[in-house]
Structure 1
Amino acid sequence: MGFVYALGAYLSWGLLVPVHFRLLGAFSPSFILAERILWSILFVGGLVLIWRRRIRTPFPLTRRHGLLVVSALLIGVNWLLYLRAVDQGHLLDASLGYYINPLMSVGLGAVVLGERLRPAQGVAVGIATASVCLAVAWAGDLPAVSLALALTFALYGLVRKVVGVDPMIGFLAETLVLAPAALAFLWLTPDPLFPPDSRSLLLLALTGITTAVPLIWFAAAAERLRLATLGLMQYLAPTCLLALSVLAYGERVEPHRLVMFGLIWLALALYAADAFRAGRAARG
């Protein structure tokens, strides 16, 4: 099920979420962020009440659960950076950031959690790393938003894996931590909390679903998969985002990113083939 959860999360982030937020272009990124935090609380809070008997409670609380404050701040910053990139038409820079992120996840898994790669997996990670380095060297620079998106989400994945709390409970806790800042911003902004036109109100309300569901799936996958596997699967999201930015929104893709795209999919194929062989051997 870990693969299914990860697949659902990454396809949502690569295709559904960017289209949704482009439809909210009339609002500022900060306003959308504040609204999505509050709508996410309502949506996930309702799910927790409905499924409370099936959810693992985090009690008694331990010092480790305090890390949810850290994960809340990391995901809040990541959301804001992503919304600004979408608002300013920099989907390709966001895509590059999420290409770099899996490499950071693999590195954190090795350094912090002591995860070890099989030889074929090491080759796959090496190809992916070389492709990103080649693309950055070819372009001559690394956009700051790309690096920030990669770093914040890689650290977020690490923290959520270490905390090990139920995905819905963890996400609800994170949004509750961010809620005071969201309420303060909405109190001070001149924009109304509930837009008068029903289309905008519906799109803002749906941010609760398109925000919460992929993150819950991601947290569920993080509990079940190694960070290296989770990180390499994440290439699905920026690949979809890259295709969307070019085919739907007319951004121009440079040749170095096409080279990176091909090499990364080669790395994914190697990693998947090795995982398949290891799974067959274990079943045997």
Structure 2
Amino acid sequence: MKETTQQKGLAAAIFAFVFWGLAPIYFKMLNHVDAFNIIAHRVVWGVLFLAVFLLVRERQSFFSTLKIPLKTFFGLLISGLLIVCNWLIFVWAVTHDQILATSLGYFINPLVNILLGTLFLKERLTKAQMIALTLAAAGTLYLGIYIGQPPWIALALAMSFGFYGLARKLLQVRPLVGLFWETMWLVPAALWYFSATMNTQLQTTTSTMILLFFSGLVTVLPLIGFNYAAKRLSLTYIGFLQYMAPSISFIIAVMFYGEAFTHGHQVAFAGIWTALFIISYHSFKERKRKKLTMV
């Protein structure tokens, strides 16, 4: 039974990360739409799909499931602003031929998480983590020097998602319930945007409107899979799998959309990939050591 549960968790995790990795293809089909417009639709339809899913899953417990402390409710406003900033940067980058930059950002993100944990949660850096952070920083710095400016898109994605993860960790709310409320906070702004751009909305073609409508499902579906997997797999295991998404996006950017993979990118990615290998290998060894200690 335990093996079956883990297999289901693995399938759900692979589904979520492959879905996230392929997401740029979907938003690339909306490159003729303003990024703010896409995000407004993503917020409204995302809340709708999420509400339907929670209603089906929780049934009579739907309203009690959504109850959270008032402090947490207002805290989710901050996390909501962080995640919508992340979505906006991601969508803008994809629709402006910068998928490679998004891939770089999500490769950097785990290292940002370590840095934020040290700065705000008083977690101590291990020697391996210090080496990894130095390598990643050196690679990113080299890319900035090579292209003549900091890789703003990658850094903004990594930092916004890193701070979002920190906020959610401090709030300690169930993943999908938290996503529901933090997105619900943004619905009034999205509806205001729709009213302010009514002429644009009315001129939207049917095919584009269908894509905008299902952007909510594109947002929610992988999160449901991730949430399912997180309950059935260890965080270390999920940590290894999470690199699937930016790896797929990397391949899509270079092989299918022909984005330039310059010498600066080669050095930056090499530094970050080496850093991630060091972190992953160290985490695996540490987990194995703890298991042996417990036996």
Which residue of the other structure, out of 241, 248, 273, is the alignment partner of 1:265? 273
Deviations 1:29-86 (A, max 9, x none): 1211111111101110011111226888364515244210001111112212222222
1:154 aligns with 2:162: yes
Deviations 1:236-272 (A, max 9, x none): 4433323211111111111121122223222222222
Q: 1:122 to 1:57 in 2, by over 3 A?
A: farther
Asked if the contact 2:93/2:99 (under 8 Å) is kept, the reply is yes
> Residue 135 of structure 2 aligns with which residue?
127
Secondary structure class of the residue paired with 2:58 = coil
> Residue 179 of structure 2 aligns with which residue?
171
Deviation of the 1:193 alpha carbon: 6.4
Q: Which TM-score applies when normalising by structure 2?
A: 0.80
Which residue of the other structure, out of 104, 120, 138, is the alignment partner of 1:112? 120
Deviation of the 1:191 alpha carbon: 2.8
Deviations 1:186-230 (A, max 9, x none): 122123369553x434322221121123445667859x749xx96
Asked if the contact 1:58/1:165 (under 8 Å) is kept, the reply is no
**Percent of counterpart pairs with the same letter?**
34
Which residue of the other structure, out of 180, 187, 191, is the alignment partner of 2:200? 191
1:251 aligns with 2:241: no
> Residue 139 of structure 1 aligns with which residue?
147
Q: Which amino acid aligns with 2:19?
A: S
Asked if the contact 2:73/2:181 (under 8 Å) is kept, the reply is no
- 1-structure distance, mates of 2:115, 2:16: 21
Asked if the contact 1:9/1:217 (under 8 Å) is kept, the reply is yes
Asked if the contact 2:42/2:213 (under 8 Å) is kept, the reply is yes
> Residue 181 of structure 1 aligns with which residue?
189
- 1-structure distance, mates of 2:196, 2:150: 35
Secondary structure class of the residue paired with 2:200 = coil
Q: Which amino acid aligns with 1:157?
A: G
Which residue of the other structure, out of 42, 52, 58, is the alignment partner of 2:58? 52
Question: What is the aligned-residue RMSD (CA, Å)?
Answer: 3.1
> Residue 34 of structure 2 aligns with which residue?
28
Secondary structure class of the residue paired with 1:137 = helix
- 2-structure distance, mates of 1:10, 1:128: 22
- 1-structure distance, mates of 2:202, 2:104: 33
Unaligned runs of 5+ in 1: none
Question: Relative to total residues, which structure has the larger helix share, 1 or 2?
Answer: 2
Unaligned runs of 5+ in 2: 1-5
Deviation of the 1:185 alpha carbon: 1.0
Give 1:197-216 correspondences, 5 Å limit.
197=206, 199-215=207-223
